[in-house]
Structure 1
């Protein structure tokens, strides 16, 4: 049997080091950590490294999907972390279902971004940070990961805040809940077993099923959720509303997700042969995260409708207490359980994203297949993040409340920078070969980046000029969209005839062409990165990246200003 449910997770891991690709196949590939070569070991089974993947019966394909499933599902559910729960609840409590449309618009953003890192991980066999360092040099490498470390550490603080608020609903003090959560998270990871870790995450993910009774017990009116599908700005466009929209974007599509999923795909040893199954895993994850987000927004919207707490969000703990008072104790308890679960999944995923990136940056072992003695830096980095973040979680409550919203908004503002490097890598033919972006994919990706920039520009304008009318914002956004359309047309024209890696077979019939592409893609793996010539960074591209970076620094500073204004009541 090429697929089984038995076998030790690390049995096929060679004894080499970070460069230790000891097999002939890995000697010529980009893989840096020998633990990233071998059988696919998942929570629900094992797939042999020699398996061809040929399955005809649906139940056989389903079995393969269950083994491969993981990176896409975990990164998406980790997206609904403590900050996500708080942000969706805030949107529901303060604006009802009026902001559901933001979630719908984010679905293509989620898939396009995460599918690109899935491709990069499966084809290259190395993490996102390592590709950036190898292809663009140390300056641009630190340019891309520098703020990731700080933002991730702050994000983990919000996860521990979520743990504290959730367990306080059950009468457990912070002095017990936070240290216990930190220790539990480390114990699960530090066993040198990828399978055990993934099984633990799957168990946490299964808890998300309680979102269904949560929203149903809030008694939503039939069709009420659909009312929020039409884009709208309740109360008019203002900086407070825009800050929340940016926070929704930041908590739904966060920079850490790019680094986590690519590294987790690599750590699970998924190769291009399994791309279809990995994409299905991602789609399942997106469906789960969207259902959860809408349900959380709905529970707060319907649970607080017509009460004195409607429009007066403070924090996730107050939401649990308010639902317990206004709806039922069961609803409050379900919300607290979801908050706890989301916090644990989020802390685990974000901390791993950080330590995966640390290993990539320093070229040290970074795999859940290694034990603590085999990869001390990987596990020490993970433990250090948990300890520092847990300690910061004991800061005064008013500081922590500001931090939660700020982290989500900052993630939304900084996302364009991360996405730009993602698009550049997905157009790097020496790395991806036949897997490079097509012109259509580039247009979609460029549109996403431009929309994110427009959103942060709008927030900047609202912070500087709080008295601008809604009509002014509408004109500005329409103008920005117009520029984006023109740019998309120019990109399309410039890439015509260069859609993929197979320009030379353009004369073949469609079926023949697809067969050649499929064979080429099935066998392509990124060569050793040291053997590839680095792409030339043109002066125009360099200037554009530096300009974007400079603007995002200013936008991030304005986020902080707006957070302070909101806390002091000075914001609009």
Structure 2
């Protein structure tokens, strides 16, 4: 196929689609469920508002990976002070392990709702399964598995169509922003954007663009600028579709829980599994099953992304061989980080730690890490020493800096509001 011929959509979709779908992990599902249960359709507008912000910063991260042939941490190490790199990666590792614990716990609880049994044993099984798959399945096959796992998100579309949605109110909630400067709305805003624009997504998508170059045996774009046009077009399409899919799914979760839980006076949801269980008496067994299955499916997608993002960042920091395309014996430390991060998440479920408190602190760390990391990412993307002649366009730079400013505002609102 020539470069001028259009490529089939599924061949264009890859890192952006998987990254967007992984954004709707079980902890994210819990957050969106709480927003719908607590505020009904009133906060649905955050999904429309957040889409261009996330799409901009993720497209920039993807372009950094494709242009430089290196991940975010590697570029940080090359162009900025070591202390900044260590701080960013340390905070990322903490946040990812907490998120892994919350997601694995939610997956175990969801399976326990469908198949009566020991929830902790289910949690351990999901953790071990994720490690084995990420370490021992070839990258080509694993990337394909992750891509098709995104279909699990359609379960939330199905929930909406078996719930009694007031579509006029739902559309109004999406199109007309409603916000009160009180503690409840402020915390909801912080939770939504802290869950949606998460640092692990930056590291993962950049790393996956590098993996794709290795898989296709192509050079970084700054080395072969003639291929930049088609590749950047592919990245834009992949990222827009992936982040659009992510936000549309999150919107369906908010609408579904608003139409069922909020409409029946259930306004306090503390986990994704609780949201699924609460749906059963209101929307029926079918909606409950779709919701619970979706938690497991998205968890199987998100857990490898969280662990993989941590592994990319740590390996690039210490100059270890890295990449899911490598055999385990060729990148022992990289795969070791994947295993340790995942097992650390499993272990958190045995500490008796309140899952909502764990999610709260993960959101705090993500919320504090994202703004400075976004500033550094923007500096890399506009740095000719890193990007050569392929620094990001002014239009994309505007979107990236706007996203960064919004996240700084939300972080300051969280700290001082």
1:97-176 equivalence runs, <5 A: 97-170=41-114, 171-176=116-121
SS in structure 2 opposite 1:373? helix
Matches of 2:325 and 2:147 in 1, distance apart?
18
Structure 2 residue 372 is matched with structure 1 residue 414: no
Q: Would the aligned equivalents of 1:247 and 1:409 in 2 still touch at CA under 8 Å?
A: no
Check the 8 A contact 1:156/1:386 in 2, yes or no: yes
1:298 matched to 2:247? The reply is: no
Contact 1:160 / 1:343 at 8 angstroms: preserved in 2?
yes
Aligned to 1:522: none
**Aligned pairs, how many?**
402
User: Which deviations, in whole Å up to 9, do the C-alpha atoms of 1:58-109 show, x marking residues without a partner?
Assistant: xxx233x433421000111000001110000000000011111111111111
Task: Indicate the residue corresponding to 1:188 in structure 2.
Answer: 133
In structure 2, the partner of 1:277 is 234
What is aligned with 1:435?
Answer: 390
Q: Deviations over 1:501-524 (max 9, x none)?
A: xxxxxxxxxxxxxxxxxxxxxxxx
Residue 216 of structure 1 is matched in structure 2 by 161
Give distance in 2, aligned partners of 1:77 and 1:285.
Answer: 7
Q: Quote the Cα distance in structure 2 between the aligned partners of 1:461 and 1:367.
A: 40
> What CA distance in whole angstroms lies between the structure 2 residues aligned with 1:198 and 1:172?
31
Instruction: Summarize deviations over 1:103-144 as a string: whole Å, max 9, x none.
Output: 111111111101111111111101110100111131222132
Query: Hey, what's the Cα distance between the residues in 2 that align with 1:457 and 1:284?
Result: 30
Question: Is residue 16–residue 235 contact of structure 2 (8 Å, CA) maintained in 1?
Answer: yes
For residues 234 and 97 of structure 2, the distance between their equivalents in structure 1, rounded to whole angstroms, comes to 32
State the TM-score, normalized to the length of structure 1.
0.68
The residue aligned with 2:264 is: 307
Say yes or no: does 1:77 pair with 2:3: no
Q: Give matches, 1:236-251, under 5 Å.
A: 236-251=180-195
SS of 2:301's partner is helix
Task: Give the SS at the match of 2:233.
Answer: helix
What's the CA shift for 1:192? 5.5
Contact 1:250 1:413 in 2 (8 A): no
SS at match of 1:435: coil
Question: Which among 369, 377, 380 is matched to residue 333 of structure 2?
Answer: 377
TM-score, normalised relative to structure 2: 0.92
Secondary structure in 1 matching 2:388: helix
In 2: Cα distance, 1:347 partner to 1:240 partner? 29
Structure richer in helix, relative to its length: 2
C-alpha deviation, 1:427, in angstroms: 1.3
For structure 1, the 5+ residue unaligned runs are: 3-52, 463-572
- Any idea what the Cα deviations from partners look like across 1:12-46, whole Å, max 9, x if unmatched? xxxxxxxxxxxxxxxxxxxxxxxxxxxxxxxxxxx
Distance (Å, rounded) in 1 between the aligned partners of 2:301 and 2:347: 19
* Counterpart contact for 1:121–1:265, Cα < 8 Å: yes
Partners in 2 of 1:143 and 1:195 — Cα distance? Answer: 33
Matched, 1:457 2:412: yes
The alignment yields a C-alpha RMSD, in angstroms, of: 1.7
Deviations for 1:116-174, whole angstroms, at most 9, x for unmatched residues?
11111111101110100111131222132221111111111111121122112112322
Distance 2:148 2:396 in 1: 35
1:55 is matched with: 4
Q: Quote how far apart the aligned CAs of 1:440 are.
A: 4.2
Q: Kindly state the Cα deviation for residue 458 of structure 1 after the two structures are TM-superposed.
A: 2.4
Does residue 358 of structure 2 align to residue 403 of structure 1?
yes
Q: How much does 1:450 deviate?
A: 2.0
Between the aligned partners of 1:224 and 1:107, the Cα distance in structure 2 is 21
Larger Rg: 1
Provide the C-alpha distance between the structure 1 equivalents of 2:416 and 2:322, rounded to a whole number of angstroms: 42
The residue that corresponds to 1:19 in the other structure is none
- How far apart are the structure 1 equivalents of 2:410 and 2:323? 37
Q: 1 or 2 for the larger relative contact order (CA 8 Å, sep ≥6)? A: 2
Give the whole-Å Cα distance in 1 for the aligned partners of 2:32 and 2:97: 22
Contact 2:92 2:199 in 1 (8 A): yes
SS at match of 2:41: coil
Aligned residue runs from structure 1 range 387-402, under 5 A: 387-396=343-352, 399-402=354-357
Alignment partner of 1:231 out of 174, 177, 181: 177
